Amino acid sequence: MSAVTWKSGSKLEQILAAGSFAVTGECGPPKSADGSVIANKARMLAGYVDAVNITDNQTAVVRIASMASAHIAQDNGVEAVMQVTCRDRNRLAIQADILGAAALGIKNVLCLTGDHISFGNHPQAKGVHDLDSIQLIRMFKDMRDEKRFQCGDEMTVEPRFLIGCAENPFADPFDFRVHRLKKKVLAGADFVQTQCIFNVPKFKKWMEQVRAEGLHQEIKILAGITPIKGAGMARYMKSSVPGMDVPQEIVDRVAAKEKGEPQQAEGKKLAVEMIKELAEIEGVAGVHIMAVEWEQAVPEIVEAAGLTPRPSQPPNRGARRDRECDQQHTS
């Protein structure tokens, strides 16, 4: 049996490497010091997703730090994807955090530019943006693969992560979107989670470009899904959330149902249909379900989409990590 060299050895990496259809979720930490919120969400998602993204002050609102939350999530049975934005920290702070995250046993990171500070609850703060997301990816790759800090200094024990990124196929300029993904691949991204998809034809068009560039063979693509909780949310996302493309027929379909439970059921049904349709697209390696403050809907959606049971053990048992380190998560 040939030995596999893992980038991080994370469950997510092993599932993606085995060619299994991956499912990731998302969990927003609370705006308080109540860590039990994360623990509860993690326990709710465990067994239904392979890993859960932990957001990093999403929408520029202060919450429990993604590193601490990722640690709590892993303590409660689900592997974390720690999101890292460039908005709040410079390269010193980010590298320090990433060493800390590795020391805590976190094995997946997601590199983001970050929502602009003006959208959040501290619009008077100084936005950092010392790096952009592509530079962040490269920095993490160099730390992992070259054992070098961004300044070039060497380190003895490198942080080993599966490096993720995001891409929004619905933003402009559309023709540049695939090139931006290519830049992220070249910078060192291992997987990408897309912006939530409602406009499937446009996503398919983007995937055609992705395949034409051969990028689907170089990066694992997880298609973004957001279950719609009600017509109000659909309208809000359509009109007020930057970078979202929600076709009117989606809004109408949910709005046609009665408010409350019937609209929620329709939203979940829509998510399931969407997952099944996206899974058929060549090059889609999984889905990333972002149920914003509606994590309890995820188990039902994953089940209805026929994606359970999740692989309970890493599928590639014969593989070994290239370096057993003493910093593995043990609790």
Partner 1 sequence: MITAERKPFDEILALTAGHDKILVAGCETCVAVCLTGGEKEAEILASELRMKAQADGRELTCEHTAAIRQCEWEYLDMIADKVAEYPVILSMACGIGIQAMAEKFADKLVLPAVNTNMLGMPQEHAVWLERCGACGDCVLGVTGGICPIVRCSKSLLNGPCGGSHDGKCEVTGPNGEEIECAWQLIHDKLRAQGREDLLLAITPPKDWSKSNSGGPRKMVRKEAKPV
* Distance in Å, CB of 149 to partner 1, minimum: 12
Which span (27-35, 152-160, 169-177, 320-328) binds partner 1, by CB under 8 A?
169-177
* Distance in Å, CB of 241 to partner 1, minimum: 9
CA distances from 171 to 203, 286, 297 (A): 11, 21, 27
Total count of residues recorded for the chain: 331
Question: How far apart are the C-alpha atoms of 155 and 203, rounded to whole Å?
Answer: 41
Which of 72, 73, 102, 134 is in the footprint of partner 1 by CB under 8 A? 134
Question: How far apart are the C-alpha atoms of 230 and 306, rounded to whole Å?
Answer: 24
* Distance in Å, CB of 242 to partner 1, minimum: 3
Interacting residues with partner 1 between 235 and 294 (CB under 8 A): 242-243
Please enumerate in sequence order all residues whose Cβ is within 8 A of that of 60, keeping only pairs 6 or more positions apart, or say none.
87, 114, 115, 116, 117, 118, 119, 120, 121, 122, 123
Which of 154, 172, 249, 324 is in the footprint of partner 1 by CB under 8 A? 172
Q: Which is nearer to partner 1, 243 or 262 (CB)?
A: 243
Give one DSSP letter per residue of 260-277, joined into a string: THHHHHHHHHHHHHHHHH
Which of 29, 114, 159, 267 is in the footprint of partner 1 by CB under 8 A? 114
Cα four-point dihedral sign 253, 197, 42, 309: positive
* Per CB under 8 A, 98 contacts partner 1: no
* Per CB under 8 A, 182 contacts partner 1: yes
Which of 34, 132, 252, 273 is in the footprint of partner 1 by CB under 8 A? 132
The one-letter code for the residue type at 143 is M
* Per CB under 8 A, 327 contacts partner 1: no
* Distance in Å, CB of 134 to partner 1, minimum: 4
Q: Bridge-partner residues for 289, per DSSP? A: 25, 225
Question: How far apart are the C-alpha atoms of 113 and 189, rounded to whole Å?
Answer: 14
Please enumerate in sequence order all residues whose Cβ is within 8 A of that of 152, keeping only pairs 6 or more positions apart, or say none.
none
* Per CB under 8 A, 122 contacts partner 1: no
* Distance in Å, CB of 176 to partner 1, minimum: 6
Site string for partner 1, 71-90 (x = CB under 8 A): ---------------xx---
For 307, left (φ over 0), alpha (ψ -120 to 50), or beta?
alpha
* Distance in Å, CB of 222 to partner 1, minimum: 15
Q: Is 142 exposed, middle or buried (0-12, 13-18, 19+ CB in 10 A)?
A: middle
Cα four-point dihedral sign 33, 44, 7, 276: negative
The number of residues that bind partner 1 (CB under 8 A) is 35
* Distance in Å, CB of 25 to partner 1, minimum: 20
* Distance in Å, CB of 269 to partner 1, minimum: 27
Which of 158, 167, 266, 295 is in the footprint of partner 1 by CB under 8 A? 167
Which span (63-71, 75-83, 109-117, 261-269) binds partner 1, by CB under 8 A?
109-117
* Per CB under 8 A, 110 contacts partner 1: no
Please enumerate in sequence order all residues whose Cβ is within 8 A of that of 331, keeping only pairs 6 or more positions apart, or say none.
75
| Among candidate residues 42, 112, 106, 102, the one with its CA nearest the CA of residue 77 | 42
Which of 4, 46, 99, 171 is in the footprint of partner 1 by CB under 8 A? 171
List of residues contacting partner 1 (CB under 8 A)? 86-87, 91, 113-114, 116, 118-119, 127, 129-135, 138-139, 150, 166-168, 171-173, 176, 179-180, 182-183, 186-187, 195, 242-243
